[in-house]
Amino acid sequence: MSSSRSIVVSVIAMIVAIIAGTVGFMFSEQLTFFDALWLTVVTILTVGYGDTVPQTFYGKMFALIIIPVGISIVTYATGAVVSMMMEGEFSKTVRRRKMKKKIEAMTNHIIVCGFGRVGEQVVRELVKNGTSVVVIERNVDSLEEMGDPIPYVEGDATADDVLIAAGIERASGLVAALPSDADNVFISLTAKGLNPSIQVVARAERPESEEKLRRAGADKVINPSFLSGRRMAMTILKPVTVDYVDTIFHDRTGQYAIEEVKIEPHSSFVHTSVGDQAVRTRFRVTIIAIQRQDDIIGNPTPDERFCAGDIVIVFGEKRALEAFEQAVNKK
């Protein structure tokens, strides 16, 4: 029987015992309802004030019966309450220990600071794409209620020890998604101090905070209000275009995706052109752009040649993208 059900049973048993005791003392001791109720409660709880005691033979016999019954019920109820408290605390402690060990073993994961409206969407998208995530949040109730809980660290994301507990030194990226721009500036600054190579994406609520976040070390700054407003306007002006972009970025079937494929020095694609590889014909994927160092080559022509270190941004079906990536990385 579960602890919560045991408590319900013990409460019902207590009520029944009090009613039976009250009625029994009213008849055996000829007491008023309140006096009989008082005598029943102090008898069951073994308080024994001594102001009201059974005087008759039948009253004393009835008390001899109700005392052990009452003690048994109270003991059972106390045990159920203590058990529920201990089980909850014990399971929570075990769960947090397992989570701590899991976080300590993680590498190249993403740390998300804040699990509010923005942070939750970031986490869900990362998990959907199979990325390891650690959340830093002060109020972890919503995280603990999840069926498959995300690894988290409870605390202030601006504190060094909290970021270290989240594995900042081993993480590949950090998302500062707190609603306060000042907190996100401090997180960006602290994260870069603890791990200079980490990629930081920060949320900005005010346009004037964007430059401050970049100076603090944020590699990318996102203003959700600006993006949402622009998206709403584009939905009115160019609904078909927006629907197509949604297909690319928010395909619910998981059939289509955008991938970044790096051209390694050993790749057979090096020094060959887009036309030589017949990318669209062979792999049925579309090259959207090629990033070469700090330059972006959009919609590359068939004569554009691949170089070692290029990052090719491609769109297509997931199976086609996997085949393309395997071909690019093949020696």
Domain boundaries, the chain: 3-101, 107-228, 252-329
Q: Please check whether residue 272 is in contact with residue 296, taking contact to mean a CB–CB distance below 8 angstroms.
A: no
Q: Which residue has the higher pLDDT, 85 or 279?
A: 279
Which tens digits make up the pLDDT trace of 267-293?
889 999 989 988 888 888 889 999 998
- Across 1-15, average pLDDT: 72
Burial (Cβ within 10 Å: 0-12, 13-18, ≥19) of residue 250: exposed
Question: Over the chain, what is the mean pLDDT?
Answer: 84
Give the CATH architecture of domain 107-228: 3-Layer(aba) Sandwich (3.40)
Domains 3-101 and 107-228 share a fold: no
pLDDT at 49: 66
Which tens digits make up the pLDDT trace of 125-138?
898 888 999 999 98
What's the pTM value of the predicted model, to 2 decimals? 0.61
pLDDT at 114: 92
Check whether 93 has a pLDDT greater than 70: no
Which tens digits make up the pLDDT trace of 188-208?
999 999 999 999 999 999 989
Give Cα separations from 248 to 108, 274, 318 (angstroms): 26, 22, 11
Q: How far apart are CA 4 and CA 14, in angstroms?
A: 15
Pick left, alpha or beta for residue 200 (phi over 0 → left; psi -120 to 50 → alpha; otherwise beta): beta
Query: pLDDT-derived band of residue 181, with 50, 70 and 90 as boundaries?
Result: very high
| Residues 6 or more apart in contact with residue 301 via CB below 8 angstroms | 274
- Across 168-193, average pLDDT: 94
* Lowest-confidence region among 63-67, 95-99, 142-146: 142-146
Which tens digits make up the pLDDT trace of 290-313?
999 888 998 899 999 999 999 999
Check whether 107 has a pLDDT greater than 70: yes
Q: Which residue has the higher pLDDT, 330 or 109?
A: 109
The CATH number of the domain covering residues in 252-329 = 3.30.70.1450
pLDDT at 27: 83
Q: Which of 314, 304, 299, 310 is nearest to 273 (CA)?
A: 304
- Across 143-162, average pLDDT: 83
Beta strands at 199-203 and 220-222: parallel, antiparallel or unpaired: parallel
Which tens digits make up the pLDDT trace of 155-173?
999 999 999 999 999 999 9
Query: pLDDT-derived band of residue 175, with 50, 70 and 90 as boundaries?
Result: very high
pLDDT at 37: 85
Token pair 């500036």 is at which residue?
A: 185
pLDDT at 228: 82
For the chain, the C-alpha Rg in angstroms (whole number) is 33
The CATH number of the domain covering residues in 3-101 = 1.10.287.70
Q: Which residue has the higher pLDDT, 25 or 313?
A: 313
